[in-house]
Amino acid sequence: MKRKIGIVGATGYTGVELLRLLVNHPHVDITCVTSREHAGSRVDAMFPNLRGYVDLAFSAPSDDALSACDLVFFATPNGIAMKSAQTLLDAGTKVIDLAADFRIKDIAVWEKWYGMQHASPQLVEEAVYGLPELNRAQIRDARLVANPGCYPTAVTLGLLPLVENGLIDVVGIIADTKSGVSGAGRKAEVHTLLAEAGDNFKAYAVAGHRHQPEIAQTLSSIAGTSISLVFVPHLLPMIRGIHATLYAMLTSEADLHQLYTARYAHEPFVDVMPADSHPETRSVRGANVCRMAIHRPGNTERVVVLSVIDNLVKGAAGQAVQNMNLMLGLAEDTALKQPGLLP
């Protein structure tokens, strides 16, 4: 029997990406898609790429309607899923939040970075951080999954083998990251206008970005000690993609390429390229893949990892479907095996 799936916020960029991936999923039926602004409109009127695939209209979000689903994705701004999650879980509906409501375990830290009071602090401990390469077994048993942020996915996967093996200095790691404008969502904002973001390149949030504590939480818990990480995001004049350039100082010698290939040998959605390669964002466009390569410039103690993802796929909707497959006891790669879109 097919599982019933709901998507809250189905008119946003991650919402429509969930739709694109799930219409080809053999074991699920999308039964409820919400939008407050476009309630009553047909999905394929708004998204013609889905004509012939989806015979549904958007409805206003309602916990009653969503509770009839087996699993609900929240592809909504921060602070929305936390208001409905308890009701849905009580009704037996599993929840995956693509926003950050359940990512940070320390509620005071979350409230500081997200500027609001948490509405469901009782659920934060239970929520599983949805990075399958780290938490696969717990995700399988989870009712509530906090899908990781886009930058944290690229950065954490890029540093994981080094941190797990205690090979780098945990002070002074640098994550120099760049994102395409779809990372900012579909809502109208001046800084993502073509005339503002096009033919331009700039850093932002250097003083502090909410993904820094998310990355530090994960890496610190792996390292068993507090990690210090400088995280600098930049906005690139492209639509999809994240490129993370990660710098760390080695404290022990190891064959790093061998370490990475062994760590990710059985991971369906992590690709380690030959050492000294240069992964391109376009190679993962539309694909649920984190592609990376390891460098030791000048054979010094400095290691440089290059890690790329599509922010909307492995950075959001694709990773969410990967988590859904695990939570529903399905093959993890169902509906997710496709290469990136070149050129």
Ligand X SMILES: CC(=O)N[C@@H](CCC(=O)OP(=O)(O)O)C(=O)O
Ligand Y SMILES: NC(=O)C1=CN([C@@H]2O[C@H](COP(=O)(O)OP(=O)(O)OC[C@H]3O[C@@H](n4cnc5c(N)ncnc54)[C@H](OP(=O)(O)O)[C@@H]3O)[C@@H](O)[C@H]2O)C=CC1
Instruction: Using the rule CB under 6 A, give the single segment among 176-184, 223-231, 272-280, 300-308 that binds ligand X.
Output: 176-184
Please report whether residue 6 would count as binding ligand Y according to CB under 6 A. no
Residue among 71, 167, 312, 321 that touches ligand Y (CB under 6 A): 312
Q: Which is nearer to ligand X, 15 or 263 (CB)?
A: 15
Please report whether residue 244 would count as binding ligand X according to CB under 6 A. no
Please report whether residue 35 would count as binding ligand Y according to CB under 6 A. yes
Q: Residue 93's closest CA among 35, 171, 31, 138?
A: 31
Per the CB < 8 A criterion, the answer to whether 95 and 74 are in contact is yes
Q: Which is nearer to ligand X, 233 or 279 (CB)?
A: 233
Q: Residue 219's closest CA among 275, 290, 166?
A: 166
Q: Tell me how far the alpha carbon of residue 82 is from its chain's centroid.
A: 18
229 binds, among ligand Y, ligand X, none (CB under 5 to 8 A by kind): none
Please report whether residue 185 would count as binding ligand Y according to CB under 6 A. yes
Per the CB < 8 A criterion, the answer to whether 338 and 287 are in contact is yes
Residue among 20, 67, 69, 76 that touches ligand Y (CB under 6 A): 76
Please report whether residue 36 would count as binding ligand Y according to CB under 6 A. yes
Instruction: Give the separation between CA 240 and CA 317, rounded to whole angstroms.
Output: 13
Sign of the alpha-carbon dihedral angle for 190, 191, 192, 197: positive
Please report whether residue 7 would count as binding ligand Y according to CB under 6 A. no
Minimum Å distance from CB 233 to ligand X?
Answer: 5
Catalytic option among 32, 69, 150, 290: 150
Minimum Å distance from CB 153 to ligand X?
Answer: 8
Per the CB < 8 A criterion, the answer to whether 151 and 179 are in contact is yes
Minimum Å distance from CB 205 to ligand X?
Answer: 6
* DSSP states along 61-124: --HHHHTTSSEEEE-S-TTSHHHHHHHHHHTT-EEEESSSTTT-S-HHHHHHHH-S--S-HHHH
Residues 83 to 122 in contact with ligand Y, rule: CB under 6 A:
98-99
Is 150 marked active-site? yes
Please report whether residue 184 would count as binding ligand X according to CB under 6 A. yes
Instruction: Give the separation between CA 325 and CA 217, rounded to whole angstroms.
Output: 25
Between the alpha carbon of residue 294 and those of residues 3, 170, 247, 276, 302, the distances in Å are 40, 18, 10, 6, 11
Please report whether residue 9 would count as binding ligand Y according to CB under 6 A. yes
Answer whether the bond into residue 343 is a cis peptide, omega within 30°: yes
- Whose tokens are 């792996």? That residue is 222
Residue window 119-158: x/- pattern of binding to ligand X, with contact defined by CB under 6 A? ------------------------------xx--------
Residue among 28, 80, 145, 294 that touches ligand Y (CB under 6 A): 80
3-state DSSP call for residue 310?
coil
9 binds, among ligand X, ligand Y, none (CB under 5 to 8 A by kind): ligand Y
Site residues, ligand X (CB under 6 A): 99-100, 149-150, 179, 183-184, 211, 233, 235
Site residues, ligand Y (CB under 6 A): 8-15, 35-38, 61, 75-78, 80, 98-99, 149-150, 182-183, 185-187, 311-312, 315-316
